[in-house]
Amino acid sequence: MSYAYSVSDPIAKLLPAGTEIPYGTAEGGGFGISVSPIDGGEGIAVYWQQSDTGWVYLKEDKGYSRHVIKGAPNEFCVRAKQDLGHNVHVWFGQRTPMGLPESVHYFSDSDGRMRIAAIKSGGSFIFTHPELHEGPYKIERLISLEGATTPMQIDDPTTPMNLTSMLSADRSTVTIELHEHNRALGHIILDAAALDQVIEKLGELRMQMRDQVATEIPSGIGLPSIVDPAWRTHMPPHSSIPGPSLALRHPGFGWVSFIFPSTEARAIAEWLMRATSQGQDR
């Protein structure tokens, strides 16, 4: 398990909307440290952001040997590989991701106001203020950074049973296991087509449940966002249909189609045009 702790300088409330929150400086009171395992337990890599210094601790028969490497995060990783022969990971990277991000997570406070966006691209993370709001706030949220190969567990507090799911090493199948008292009762292996059917059926059942999906974004949640999704539109096929349809491709849930009444479609188009022009002006 990796660990990172970062504190920015106390300037967040001075930043305009959409601005990247900078790493803290030693002079301004900022702090950032990254701790990561090396090659499946061969050692530990520690990096201190404000000093541009990292330490590699490698296991030996009688403890650990310490290796000090000076340089920016990317330089630290390169030199650790060149000098010590080990791949190391640091949670601090290039200041601005290059190209399209791999993922974007939005985080709201307890009042439902979007406060922070976490943007990942390659080995780098940046955090921004998507909107401006006055006053202090607190957000606690976990983000899965390890990818879909990390096992997922679903526990039912009313029974001793739980479900776990795991992606295969070649990413071609998913295994779902049923456990009782930590003992596996059985499992099923699904390829992409079979998993699509399960997801579709679960979605249909979810729509019929008494407890419906919230009509507003719940406060305090992280909102994963798909960057540049494929989309298709269709005109109403019949006069009874109130407006055009918009289908969006989600890489996990497949194609999802929505029909917008004409007034709503125009409102969305106008808002997107305004947001796009404002983004170009930044």
CA nearest 101: which of 224, 240, 249, 266? 224
Q: State residue 57's pLDDT score.
A: 95
> What is the predicted pLDDT for the residue at 143?
60
What mean pLDDT do residues 185-208 have?
93
Show the tokens assigned to 155. Answer: 């526990």
List the beta strands (DSSP E) in the chain.
Answer: 3-7, 31-38, 43-48, 53-60, 63-70, 103-108, 114-121, 124-128, 152-155, 161-167, 173-180, 183-191, 222-225, 231-234, 245-250, 254-259
User: Which element (helix H / strand E) includes 196?
Assistant: helix 192-208
Contact indicator for 29, 22 with CB cutoff of 8 Å: no
Q: Indicate whether 256 and 188 sit together in one domain.
A: no
- Strand pairing class (222-225; 231-234): unpaired
CB 81 within 8 A of CB 38: no
Would you say residue 114 lies in a domain?
Answer: no
**Last residue within a domain, chosen from 46, 67, 93:** 93
Is residue 11 domain-shared with residue 85, that is, in the same domain? yes
Pair 247, 177 in one domain: no
Q: Is residue 262 part of a domain?
A: yes
* Statement to judge: residues 20 and 89 lie in one domain: yes
**pLDDT for the residue 205:** 94
**Which pLDDT belongs to residue 141?**
63
Range of the domain at 186: 152-208
Q: What is the pLDDT of residue 116?
A: 80
- Domain shared by 180 and 248, yes or no: no
Where does 4-129 have alpha helices with state H? 73-79
In a domain, 111, yes or no: no
Total of domains in the chain? 3
What is the distance between the alpha carbons of residues 80 and 87, in angstroms, rounded to a whole number?
7
92 forms bridges with which residues in the sheet? none
| φ/ψ (deg, to 5) at 230 | -70, 145
184 lies in some domain: yes
End-to-end CA, the chain = 37
Pick the more confident residue, 23 or 60: 60
Q: Are residues 204 and 241 in the same domain?
A: no
Identify whether 109 is part of a domain: no
The structure tokens listed for 230 are 């494929």
Residue (of 242, 275, 274) closest to 259 by Cα position: 242
Q: What is the DSSP letter of 82?
A: I
Q: Residue 219: inside a domain, yes or no?
A: no
Shared domain for 44 and 89, answered yes or no, is: yes
pTM of this prediction exceeds 0.75: no
Token pair belonging to 94: 């290039």
Are 15 and 64 contained in the same domain?
yes
Does residue 179 sit in the same domain as residue 242? Answer: no
Which has the closest alpha carbon to 22: 14, 75, 221?
14
Q: With 70 as the cut, is the pLDDT of residue 159 above it? A: no
76 and 11 in a common domain: yes
Q: Is the pLDDT of residue 149 over 60?
A: no
pLDDT in tens, 70-129: 988 888 989 999 999 988 888 776 555 456 677 777 777 777 777 788 777 765 667 777
Question: Do 204 and 246 fall into the same domain?
Answer: no
| CA distance linking residue 201 with residue 64, whole number of Å | 52
Residue 12 sits in the same domain as residue 85? yes
**Which of 36-45, 126-135, 158-167 is the most confident on average?**
36-45
Helix (H, G, I), strand (E, B) or coil at 21: coil
Tokens representing residue 118 in the block: 């976490």
Looking at 46, 78, 93, which one is the last position of a domain? 93
Position 214 in a domain: no
144 is a domain residue: no
- Cβ 171 vs Cβ 163: under 8 Å: no
